[in-house]
């Protein structure tokens, strides 16, 4: 199955969704946006990656910056901060370049490496887009963290790829239904740029619709059509 262009999601949303699906929905379903220090610092770091020279050649290394990417199969589009092309026999041909080149995506992030896989999922999603665009296989890429100024190599395992597919499929579902899920507040709420819209304190309060919310979450995950149930609700 292929998604139509008007259905494409922003690939960067994968990181938000993996951190908190409610945060993603507030930004991408309800179109709300708030900036805090973390998001401003993150944007500055990205601008730095994108403002540099667009392309650069260093022997067997060719570097492109700010490359637009997309996947019809996943229904996403976005941008790669940096793609390094390493000359090697298993690589792909590039326009106006001799030889074969293996793509290696590099994503710039503020802060440092985290336990959760949000950044790794986003990078893996980029690699999957590039694979579709260049008809090749990309086994690894790297995250560069601004705070530690270190690179972390990420291997694109079958498990990581399948989580990318699952998340994107859920995101398409939420967007199609125009639904913002409720989630349990967690320690990440303290630094969340969307806290003023989300009101995590309110999420703690029990309400009559909680049971139905949980039921619908589970039904969405299982791919059931709960549109008819939602239409019958009076508390939203
Ligand atoms: S405040 Fe917490 S629950 Fe609300 S969107 Fe942010 S991270 Fe998610």
pLDDT tens-digit map of 109-166: 888 888 889 999 999 999 999 999 999 999 999 999 988 999 999 999 999 999 999 9
Determine the pLDDT at residue 228. 44
Q: Does domain 5-181 have CATH number 3.30.1460?
A: no
Instruction: Compute the distance from residue 192 Cα to the ligand 1 centre, in Å.
Output: 6
Farthest CA pair distance, the chain: 65
208 vs 137: CA distance, rounded Å: 49
188 vs 181: CA distance, rounded Å: 16
> How many alpha carbons lie under 13 Å from residue 225 in its C-beta half-sphere?
1
34 vs 172: CA distance, rounded Å: 22
Pocket of ligand 1 (CB under 6 A): 20, 22-23, 26, 183, 185, 188-189, 192, 194-195, 198, 200
Instruction: Compute the distance from residue 132 Cα to the ligand 1 centre, in Å.
Output: 33
pLDDT digits (tens, 9 = 90+) for 180-204: 999 999 998 988 888 988 988 777 6
48 vs 65: CA distance, rounded Å: 10
With contact defined as beta carbons under 8 Å apart, do 12 and 43 qualify? Answer: no
Band of the pLDDT at 229, cuts 50, 70, 90?
Answer: very low
Question: Do the strands 150-155 and 76-94 form a parallel or antiparallel pair, or are they unpaired?
Answer: unpaired
Greater confidence (215 vs 107) lies with 107
124 vs 141: CA distance, rounded Å: 8
- Mean pLDDT over all residues of the chain? 84
């Amino acid at each position: 199955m292929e998604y139509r262009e008007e259905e494409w999601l922003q690939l960067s949303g994968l990181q938000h969704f993996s951190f908190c699906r409610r945060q993603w929905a507030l930004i991408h379903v309800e179109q709300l946006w708030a900036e805090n220090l973390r998001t401003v610092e993150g944007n500055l770091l990205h601008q730095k990656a994108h403002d540099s020279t667009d392309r650069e050649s260093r022997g067997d290394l060719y570097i492109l910056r700010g490359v637009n990417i997309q996947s019809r199969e996943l229904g996403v589009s976005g941008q790669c901060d940096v793609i390094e092309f390493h000359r090697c026999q298993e690589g792909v041909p590039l326009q106006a370049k001799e030889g074969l080149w293996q793509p290696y995506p590099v994503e710039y992030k503020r802060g440092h490496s985290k336990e959760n896989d949000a950044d790794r999922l986003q990078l893996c999603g980029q690699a999957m887009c590039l694979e579709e665009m260049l008809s090749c296989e990309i086994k690894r890429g790297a995250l560069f963290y601004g705070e530690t100024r270190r690179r972390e190599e990420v291997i694109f395992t079958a498990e990581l790829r399948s989580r990318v597919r699952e998340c994107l499929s859920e995101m398409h579902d939420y967007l199609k239904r125009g639904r913002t899920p409720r989630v349990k507040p967690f320690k990440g709420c303290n630094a969340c740029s969307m806290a003023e819209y989300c009101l995590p304190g309110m999420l703690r309060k029990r309400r009559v619709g909680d049971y139905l919310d949980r039921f619908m979450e589970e039904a969405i995950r299982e791919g059931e059509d709960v549109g008819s149930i939602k239409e019958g609700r009076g508390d939203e």
